[in-house]
Structure 1
């Protein structure tokens, strides 16, 4: 692993705590201090809390041999002043140095794959360890499973490293700024704000707000590739998170979210946005006949790989009315056209949208361009 040690040392203590600090039970908070950096306060289960603080240069000079548990508790009490704090029971505590790094590769010899803390290490400042590990797993699992099942050519599995390692590097760049500010320092790029009386706590807030889409995971995106093709229709960019929307189901018009429709358990979702079916019906019928053709249709050949769904603007009595015959997968209604709008699909033209098993936009094309869908899937499916 290519890693770097930092000058940052942090302390964390879990245990029973009693304090007169307001709103101590609300969940989590941070407190800017002069001597202990950005103090972390978290309500845990039952009577337990977690408090965390930085071993600033002043504290490291005070404890050159490191902290004992008693000293760690004493400094925790000091860090919360002017509020009172008592820690009658310590369940766990640690003092550790922050190390940041990313593995040289996340895939070696085809099936040696690294994820989570084995692939990237960083501070706990923005609580991204589990988040990033889960995103690694979400990106990897369908690629690995599909490769083992013989669905994909080798590129799909190698794209795990090419997609996730740049994300890990971005995480480390963010963590360098965050751990600096949490430790009570002002990162160089933000020092002009000091003249405006900004303190380290203000900088922590600014770094977080600038990266909130990344921290939440919804702003993560991947570069164009064999599995992320430049869309030929719509406005959602390939490699980006596919938007969610509210749809209605036939019959009693029960609401369902698009994310539930695309929950395909390792399969690719092909969403046929039909727009106004009275306008696009001939294209929909042709597309259905091509995709579902016996032995030769894309959806027939890749039955295990693909999940078909149709979304039309407005509503109708049944799929039969839309297709003048059998439909394509399950039918859903987009009463106000909001889902079509989110994907940049014209209600008069419609489009076909391909969403990867991990919810990332893969490709999009016009209703009458099934050959483009063929080309797309032939690029990586066996």
Structure 2
């Protein structure tokens, strides 16, 4: 690839991972890498972080992911929760009427059975403050100029080589001799999280494949005055004047999505200069009738857009340069997926980069990023096509028998609840997803996230959410469901497992770097069925309890009746099982306690490296 330089001084730097773009996908990536101790740098061409607007909805699974990084509490504190969705359709007397209400989230295992809405600027601030604790901040404003990826097979085969050359220049105004420098950044890996018009994607020559609809929508963030009774619920409105969606936000703010029919297109693109926020609000006034809605307060943010559904042809170049978020998939915002899909892209990528950079894993591990996230993006587009068509379609009335009925819309809304919530994301069979022994825990689907459940810590009977025992700390979690250790046969089985695990040929020692702590790659937890009145954490073999806090039981708490259903929920028998949870919280493998060390060794040998 060609590149340009300037006559000014050229400074050079080296970095493990360079991230281009400081939106939610880039910040999720930077924060996760920084927490793992990776030398990471993130640049953005915007002079400052966005103050308001943009994406605003966080789905239940994404809240779980943020919790795994210790960031959910602040989100829940600052954001608005949406528990209910209301549906409005044309009334026989004119205007609209409510035809039903339903739970906003239809995913039975959701730990957080609601959505959180908060403007993107505030969500980004949560990441920025977390990154600052690790000494990482966004370099801005910085303009990328060129990107060169090595063609040397030997260099590309070395996961720690600086095989990407990136050239950028500060966007200073006015420029001076001191600050108008071209910089060459040598990076081991680059992540392009630079939005729908991604410079990285275009530089790599990747195409965006898909189509654009003719559905035009306007968005307005403001504090309205209205007698509409569902203004604080997510509301889907199908009116004869067009469709609307109401999204309540933090404080008294409301976001309105309004279908527009009178818009000008220029070569298939909206001419935003011909649009006004007032136009969006005027259509809303008509669509809300017989209810009234007015807009006396300042407009915090607004935009207009045409729904397009596209997926990038590739998500990675030679497993050295990756694209994530809007750079590789775009769709309508109606189902609230954009920011969620974007952050979960880089959540998937972070731990893989870390293990490769540390020399713990084969470079091939990075291929699973595109395999997993591109299939998800394609599934998302297929869903979005159906959902956005239903949402933007004309409602069914006496005069329009072919229109969208309330029942049809509600069915799609609820049927796809697992998908839109993020709870149902399912990664397919691969080197890191092995479902061959799924039968030992039928309630935990290999390739899906660890289902929430309450267990008690054996030492002090304190209840814990099992997801909180599997934080995003880059370690694999080995959850050993050991049954009742008062049962002699179970105790014998566990002793045998512990002995094999501790052997010099066992996978834990094989894949733990020389001199590193025993639990640096694998965090071992045990969950038994012995009752709280008789259990002792010391009954667990010493090798399986690196600390007293790592032993748990499946019993009911002393207060509030929490817990006692984990084995039942997961479909695990009294014979026990071993569950491998990947660093991103997804179940990678399930095995029986009998002979499981060999099975686990075979699983980890597919992608981990030993320095022995």
Fold in common (TM above 0.5): yes
- Per-residue deviation at 1:353? 1.4
2:578 corresponds, among 352, 356, 360, to 352
1:158 corresponds to 2:370: no
Deviation, structure 1 residue 198? 7.2
Q: Distance in 1 between matches of 2:253 and 2:493?
A: 62
Alignment partners' CA distance in 2, 1:50 and 1:238: 37
Structure 2 residue aligned with 1:308: 524
What is the aligned partner in structure 1 of residue 276 from structure 2? 68
Q: CA RMSD in A?
A: 2.4
In structure 2, the partner of 1:84 is 292
Are the equivalent residues in 2 in contact too, given 1:231–1:238 (CA < 8 A)? no
Map residues 126-145 of structure 1 onto 2, 5 A cutoff. Answer: 126-145=335-354
Q: TM-score, normalized by length of structure 2? A: 0.56
> Which residue does the alignment assign to 1:363?
589
TM-score in terms of structure 1 length = 0.88
Specify which of 493, 499, 509 is matched with residue 289 of structure 1.
499
Question: Which of 335, 340, 348 is residue 555 of structure 2 equivalent to?
Answer: 335
Relative to structure 1, is the Cα distance of residues 284 and 47 closer, same or farther in structure 2, using a 3 angstrom cutoff?
Answer: closer
Residue number among 433, 437, 445 corresponding to 1:237 in the alignment:
445
> How big is the shift at 1:240?
2.1
Q: Shift in Å at residue 42 of structure 1?
A: 2.8
Gaps spanning 5+ residues in structure 1: where? none
Secondary structure of the residue aligned to 2:300 is: strand
Counterpart CA distance in 2 for 1:201 and 1:346 is 43
Change (3 A) 1:112 1:185: farther
Q: Does 1:373 align with 2:600?
A: yes
Contact 2:248 2:254 in 1 (8 A): yes
Distance in 1 (alpha carbons) for counterparts of 2:278 and 2:599: 67
Higher helix share: 1
Q: In the TM superposition, what is the alpha-carbon distance from 1:338 to its structure 2 partner?
A: 2.6
Q: Please state how far the C-alpha of 1:201 moved relative to its aligned partner.
A: 4.7
Mapping 1:1-382, distance limit 5 Å: 1-24=208-231, 26-37=232-243, 39-56=244-261, 59-60=262-263, 67-88=275-296, 89-185=298-394, 199-232=404-437, 233-235=440-442, 236-263=444-471, 265-277=473-485, 278=487, 279-293=489-503, 295-301=504-510, 302=512, 303=518, 304-315=520-531, 316-323=534-541, 327-329=544-546, 330-335=550-555, 338-347=565-574, 349-369=575-595, 370-382=597-609
Shift of 1:45: 4.1
Deviation per residue, 1:6-53 (Å, 9 max, x gap): 1110011222321122243x243222211222x122333445332221
Shift of the alpha carbon at 1:163? 0.7
The residue matched to 1:222 in structure 2 has which SS? coil
1:55-91 CA distance string (max 9 Å, x none): 24xx459xx9854343333222212111122212333
Question: How far apart are the structure 2 equivalents of 1:319 and 1:377?
Answer: 28
The secondary structure found in structure 1 opposite 2:301 is strand
Check whether the contact 1:13–1:52 (CA below 8 A) recurs between aligned residues.
Answer: yes
The 1:322–1:147 alpha-carbon spacing in structure 2 relative to 1, beyond 3 Å, is: closer
Shift of 1:109: 2.3
Task: Indicate how the Cα distance of structure 1 residues 296 and 124 shifts in structure 2: closer, same or farther if over 3 A, else same.
Answer: same
- Is the alpha carbon distance of 1:378 and 1:310 closer, same or farther for their aligned partners in structure 2, counting shifts above 3 Å? same
CA deviations on 1:90-118 (whole Å, 9 max, x unpaired) are 33322211111001111112121111111
Structure 1 counterpart of 2:121: none
CA distances 1:187-207 after superposition (whole Å, capped 9, x unpaired): xxx9xxx86x97355433222
Gaps of 5+ in 2: 1-207, 265-269, 513-517, 557-563
